[in-house]
Amino acid sequence: MTARPGSDGGPRWASFAQRCDDALLDPFLRHKLRHAMDLAVAGRLRRVSEEPRWEDMRDHAHAIRWHVVGALHTYLEQFIERAEARGAHVHWADDAEQARRQVLAIAREHECRRVLKSKSMVTEEIGLRHALESAGMVVKETDLGELIVQWAGEAPSHLTGPAAHKSRGDIGRLIAEQLGVPFTDDPRALTGLVRDHLRGDFLTADLGISGANFLIAETGSVTIVENEGNARLVTGLAPVHVVVAGIERILPRLADLEVFLQLLAGSNAGQKLTAYTSVITGHRREHEVGGPEHVHVVLVDNGRSRMLADPIMRPALMCIRCAACLNVCPVYRRVGGHAYGWCYPGPIGQVLGADMWSEQEGYDLAFGSTLCGACAEACPVRIDLPTVLLRLRQRAAEAEAPGGAAERRRFRLWAFAMRHPRIYRMLPNWLLRLGMRVAPEIPRRVAPGWVATRDLPEPAPQTFAQRWRSTGGFSHD
């Protein structure tokens, strides 16, 4: 079983709708998220507007990722061969449990006790930190946002900005408490405190764990992008480096990085490139100074080969985890990452999660979307996320899953009304107005959830169709 919030003795798994309701009751959350997301989106749009080849790059990236996903076995085989030829040990994990066990075995084999991590969503997906900690190891996150949520005992709430849900005050109090220093909420001072605090850890760690943004089949290399420099230190100083990567994160050629690095950095928050891009190929060569003696790559399937076989889900494997779809999503921007109930939030998290948790939870996650299309418009590899969500809803309806049954009832009613225009025309007009006068408690009965936090307005005196007729349709010509 894959770890997810609540499965480690936390609160019980509530429904997506329930978690959204809870999140919406927090007025500060929305404010903090809007501020952060607006900045990220503005950055991306600025970058897009100054880059004349942006749309070409997206088309190209889509073509490459679609090709790679369709020939995944070929490229994985090539990657494994070349990485092993350069001295890396490549492991294969069918599921989260296997992946955790493999990393643990590697740590034990090299007698590692002090473990540092750089940011990696797949290690969140497999619940790696808890597994290592329960085995008695000291594990510390080194990305500032990740360390903040680790200290807070929370999960990251955004793919690239794990502490997006926290204010500087929240973070200041947390750091003051953790490090025993006077309170400050100045981001510069706080960053400096954490920098000083982690310096000793970097110099003494005996195992560094990172994720991988791209695996390069041609060279057997692992590519890691970051801004803080923590991944440089995690992967470069400890004697053992373990890379945990999803099997889909492959690019065919080293030269493909030019487009993908720019798309990733630009789509995330408008950078041309992130401050550091590391291309790591095997362990330290004999003639080189420094670098780990042992490099292990753990390739994680955990449901991906199943998605590959599923024509609806396969496009989701093209994702490069840039977070652009979260930043623009009107749902994510209000409910934040924790409402999604597992490590991948936002539109891509809904798609992956609806598939992953369908047996336990139905297709709940696929329904929390307006299908407005903002995510598809932003996605650098042009994944048509709304269509995937729609197809998953269809699947839910066909499978009689809980969310699906309600949806089907609603649409049956809708279809009936659409087939009977007279009835449809009557509904919003006098019948509704009359109904609301005589029995104002009806909406509360029919849709208690909806009216609990909203007023149901009285319908306008004229319907759109009536106004259309009375103004003569397109009256401007």
Residues 6+ apart with CB under 8 A from 278: 223, 224, 225, 226, 231, 232, 235
CB of 258 to other proteins, least distance (A): 5
Name the binder of 388 from other proteins, ligand SF4, none, CB < 5-8 A by kind: none
> According to the binding rule CB under 6 A, does residue 381 interact with ligand SF4?
yes
Residue 401 in the binding site for ligand SF4 (CB under 6 A) = no
Q: Give whole-number Cα distances, 171 to 176, 189, 319, 407, 417, in Å.
A: 8, 12, 30, 41, 53
106: contact with ligand SF4 by CB under 6 A: no
Q: How far is the CB of 95 from other proteins (least distance, A)?
A: 11
**Which is nearer to other proteins, 87 or 459 (by Cβ)?**
87
Q: What is the DSSP string of 8-51?
A: TSSS----HHHHHHHHHT-HHHHHHHHHHHHHHHHHHHHHHHH-
CB of 106 to ligand SF4, least distance (A): 29
The interface region with ligand SF4, picked from 92-100, 202-210, 226-234, 372-380 by CB under 6 A, is: 372-380
Kindly identify the residues of this chain, within the stretch 255-274, that bind ligand SF4 according to CB under 6 A. Answer: 267
Select the span of 124-132, 314-322, 363-371, 469-477 touching ligand SF4 (CB under 6 A). Answer: 314-322
Which of ligand SF4, other proteins, none lies near 424, with the C-beta cut-off 5 to 8 A by kind? none
Q: For residue 294, what is the DSSP state?
A: E
Q: Choosing among ligand SF4, other proteins, none, which partner's interface includes residue 2 (Cβ < 5 to 8 Å by kind)?
A: none
- By CB under 6 A, the count of residues binding ligand SF4 is 15
Pairing of strands 207-210, 276-280: unpaired
CA distance 309 to 306: 5
Using the rule CB under 6 A, is 383 a contact of ligand SF4?
A: yes
CB 46 within 8 A of CB 270: yes
- Read off the tokens for 188: 């510069």
For the chain, the distance separating the N- and C-terminal CA atoms, rounded to the nearest angstrom, is: 64
Give the nearest distance from C-beta 381 to ligand SF4 in angstroms.
5
Nearer to other proteins, 281 or 358 (CB): 281
The amino acid occupying position 405 is: A
Name the segment binding ligand SF4 (CB under 6 A); options: 24-32, 277-285, 375-383, 444-452.
Answer: 375-383
Question: Under the criterion CB under 6 A, does residue 325 sit at the interface with ligand SF4?
Answer: yes
Question: Binds 381, which of other proteins, ligand SF4, none (CB < 5 to 8 A, cut-off by type)?
Answer: ligand SF4
Q: Which does 31 bind (CB under 5 to 8 A by kind): ligand SF4, other proteins, none?
A: none
Dist. CA 469–CA 457, nearest whole Å: 24
From other proteins, ligand SF4, none, interface partner of 137 (C-beta below 5 to 8 A by class): none
> Minimum distance from CB of 348 to ligand SF4 (Å)?
4
* Residue 383, contacted partner among other proteins, ligand SF4, none, CB below 5-8 A by kind: ligand SF4
Which x/- pattern over 342-361 shows residues binding ligand SF4 (rule: CB under 6 A)? ------x-------------
The CB-of-2 to ligand SF4 minimum distance in angstroms stands at 19
User: How, if at all, do strands 250-251 and 214-216 pair?
Assistant: parallel
Diameter over CA atoms, the chain: 88
Measured CA distances, 204 to 106, 116, 191, 198, 442 (Å)? 18, 10, 21, 10, 67
Task: State which H helix or E strand residue 276 sits in.
Answer: strand 276-280
- Amino acid code (one letter) for 445: R
- d(CA 403, CA 260) in angstroms, rounded, equals 37
Residue closer to other proteins, measured from CB, 208 or 403: 208
Residues contributing to the site for ligand SF4 (CB under 6 A): 267, 319-325, 348, 378-381, 383, 385
